[in-house]
Amino acid sequence: MDFLVFQYPMITIQACLDGLLLGILFALIAYGMALQWGVMNIINIAQGDLVILGGYIAYFMYLYGIHPAWGVIVSPIIMYFVGIAIYKLVINKVVDRDLFISILATFGISILFMQLMNFAFGADVVLANSGYGTTMLFDNNVVLPNSKIFSAFISIVFAICLVVYMKRSKLGRAIRATAQNARAAKILGVDTEKVYAATFGINAALCGVAGALISITFTIHPYMGLPYTIRSFMIVIVAGLGNLPGVAMSGMGLGIFEEFADYILGTEFRIGSVFLLLVLILVYRRFKLSRKREYLK
Amino acid sequence: MSKNSWILYIGILVFGLVAPFIFPAFKVQLSILCVLIVLATTWNIQGGEMGYNTFGNILFYGLGMYLCASVQVGMFFPLAEWTESGGEKTFVHTPSQFFQGMAAGLLVAAVVPTIVAGLIGYAILGLRGHYFAICTLGLGVAAGEISGGIEIIGAGQGFTTPPFPNIGGLEARGEFFYFLSFGALVLTFIAVRAIYTTRFRLILNAIRDNEDKAEAMGIETMKYKITGWMISAFFCGLAGGIMGGLVGYIDSTDVAFDGREMGVFMVLMAILGGKGTLWGPIIGATLFHFFKEGFWTFFLGWQYVALGVLIVVIVIYFPEGLMGWLREKYPERFGEVVDEADRKAQVELK
């Protein structure tokens, strides 16, 4: 174990800043997760694979000589239609069913996507080099790649746009109404089928943005999807559905946790620690809830 | 038991005993089939009878695999040096050492996961529904990632299990592992069948149908849930130990804690055959194994695509499984009394 992190304050600052910028990205993915969970009552295991697919779109543009930052605009547009297609083919058949059915069905989609991406793009770890350079802080002790700052900024912009859209637009109001009570919304003339499709499309588009940003900032690999799903799931259960500041905060918290786990436990335990944290959070939540139930007795 | 079912059981037993001699080329496949049936049947105790759909039984399977191999090596040789040497063996098990090690290893592989299940059961089984499913999924993946970082069991480069001693060659190895896995299958079947005739199964079903009501009826649900999970863990660990020896090589994420393959397979097999029945998982596992081998042979490279499509299709169009479908079609054969007029009315409604 490496306790350098406590002896050198600069490493602590580095880890915190890295974690914050990373966490904003996680929060964006988690926002999509919260949206579909709240509206359709579906847990999408393929969330992370949608993210990776979005990343590959940006990477593909990079391969053909277009600057990958444009992927931030192209990727969500493509991913929106991918999301609609998935909805029409699979999700609309599992919306009203048991949650486990949706988990298993999206697990199937996840395996399918993983392997198709593996065929299409190869099993190498890739990144789209944005060539943004780095920023040095604190006498060159803390190194921040500009691409990370860029990605955090773009995530915030997209999140704000989405929040405003959900508050103001007609579709946004319909989505919120459906989330509150699907049956009542239907009675009042909302085409819930369309709303579901749009919700899933928006979720996929958000994943596309996040994926494009991840391909610029970090690396992508066909099999790296599941950790993103688990992270977004964790953020949503910590923050609760429909609690946007909560999603942002817990996303950043998770980012910082991961950076510290990386420094202290070593990189090989990074993903493991995320999954273990999920288990711990769920168990903590269970004991907290059971205390409430005992009080009721 | 009626006379007919006795004939059926004895027939299957005899077939199981002579199968490796009739189909000598398929011994390994048959052993894998036995292990798959054990996994599907024990998953069914959890997912089918108790209604706690878990992705986490792979945890016990992988744990059993590592434990069996570690005990088998560690009883006679230093474990760390064994894993460090990798493929080039500096130590060789004598036949008696191999079998003693295997016996002790299987015992440990079955008992320790049971204890682990008992210890974590109280915390994990309090979760409900999808929280439980995701939590167990997380447990399985976390175990894989963490065991991939531990040096003494081979870390990322894997763990080669002791090779079969040099008696009788490949034939003897195949027969040994076949009878081992068939024995595990028979043991599992007898145990599960015995459990299913007791009040225990009814309690598990009550938990599945409405846990709060079951609790209100005075059933200590937590106790039964943990017991159910421990039974699952026992057989999963045993199956894992056998599979480790059969495959001969343990990798943390590709063989042992393989949530993407084995972890989903067990759920799928049970659902394909029909959750909550004794024969469903067995039939499901057999069908699935044939499908899978077909895919793996004819669509080489595309097998995961086929698997993904298969999962989606089964889950969406076939959630009740084969037994559920049969039950709907021929309810009389399942001992359900059907009112003829009622049935006609339903047909007309359709």
Q: Report ipTM (2 d.p.).
A: 0.82
Residue indicated by tokens 């108790």: B50
Which residues numbered 224-243 in A keep a CB inside 8 Å of some CB on B? 226, 230, 233, 237
| Domain regions of chain A by residue span | 4-296
* SS3 labels along A232-272: HHHHHHHHCCCCHHHHHHHHHHHHHHHHHHHHHHCHHHHHH
From the candidates A37, A91, A92, A100, which should be mutated to test the interface with B, based on the most B CB atoms within 10 A? A100
- Contact residues, chain B, for A119 at CB < 8 Å: 301
Q: What is the predicted pLDDT for the residue at B234?
A: 92
Residue indicated by tokens 């007791």: B198
Judged against a pLDDT cut of 70, whether residue A188 lies above it is answered with yes
Q: What is the mean pLDDT of residues A57-69?
A: 83
A95 inside 8 A of chain B by CB: no
From the candidates A93, A94, A111, which should be mutated to test the interface with B, based on the most B CB atoms within 10 A? A111
Cross-chain CB nearest to A107 (options B130, B304, B311): B311
H-assigned helices in chain A:
4-7, 9-40, 47-63, 71-86, 92-94, 99-121, 146-168, 170-180, 182-187, 192-217, 225-239, 244-265, 270-296
Query: When comparing pLDDT for A91 and B157, which is higher?
Result: A91
- Contact residues, chain A, for B307 at CB < 8 Å: 108, 111
Cross-chain CB nearest to A271 (options B145, B264, B267): B145
Search chain A and give the residue with CA nearest B253. Answer: A272
- Write phi, then psi, for B197 (nearest 5 degrees): -95, -5
pLDDT tier at A1, thresholds 50, 70, 90 = very low
- Express each pLDDT in A214-264 by its tens digit: 888 888 888 888 888 888 888 888 887 777 788 888 888 888 888 888 878
Which two three-digit tokens encode residue A107? 């697990």
Segments of chain B with pLDDT less than 70: 1, 84-90, 155-156, 168, 334-350
Q: Is A275's CB within 8 Å of B138's CB?
A: yes
- Write phi, then psi, for A23 (nearest 5 degrees): -65, -30
pLDDT tier at A293, thresholds 50, 70, 90 = low
Q: Is B139's CB within 8 Å of A275's CB?
A: yes
Q: What is the predicted pLDDT for the residue at A204?
A: 92
- Express each pLDDT in B197-251 by its tens digit: 888 888 988 888 888 888 888 888 888 889 989 999 999 999 988 888 888 888 8
Residue A33: is it exposed, middle or buried by C-beta count within 10 angstroms (0-12/13-18/19+)? buried
Which two three-digit tokens encode residue A244? 């946007």
Give the lowest-confidence range in A29-33, A68-72, B80-84, B140-144.
Answer: B80-84
The mean pLDDT value of chain A amounts to: 83
Q: What is the pTM of this model?
A: 0.85
What type of residue is A79?
Answer: M
| Domain regions of chain B by residue span | 26-319
Alpha-carbon distance of A7 to B41, in angstroms, equals 53
Q: Where are the beta strands (DSSP E) in chain B?
A: 159-160, 249-250
Which residues numbered 233-262 in B keep a CB inside 8 Å of some CB on A? 260
Give the residue among A48, A229, A273, A45 at the shortest CA–CA distance from B142. A273
Query: Mind telling me how many Å the CA of B189 is from chain A's nearest CA?
Result: 27
- Contact residues, chain A, for B260 at CB < 8 Å: 111, 114
Query: Mind telling me how many Å the CA of A76 is from chain B's nearest CA?
Result: 24
The b-or-e profile of B245-283 (16+ CB within 10 A means b, else e) is: bbbeebbbbebbbbbbbbbbbbbbbbbbbbbbbbebbbb
Q: What is the mean pLDDT of residues A281-285?
A: 85
How far, rounded to the nearest angstrom, does the alpha carbon of residue A232 sit from its chain's CA centroid? 5
Query: What is the CATH code for A4-296?
Result: 1.10.3470
Give the residue among A196, A198, A155, A207 at the shortest CA–CA distance from A46. A207
The crossing angle, in degrees rounded to 10, of helices A9-40 and A225-239 is: 80
Q: What is the predicted pLDDT for the residue at B1?
A: 57
- Contact by Cβ (8 Å): A38, A195: no
Q: What is the mean pLDDT of residues A121-140?
A: 73
Residue indicated by tokens 């915390």: B123
B151 inside 8 A of chain A by CB: no
For residue B159, give the 3-state DSSP assignment: strand
Task: Give A3-18 as a DSSP string.
Answer: THHHH-HHHHHHHHHH
Alpha-carbon distance of B319 to B311, in angstroms, equals 10
Tell me the CA distances in angstroms from A73 to A57, A58, A89, A120, B293, one per residue in order.
Answer: 11, 9, 25, 22, 43
Query: Mind telling me how many Å the CA of A259 is from chain B's nearest CA?
Result: 17
Search chain B and give the residue with CA nearest A101. Answer: B315
Q: What is the mean pLDDT of residues A64-80?
A: 84
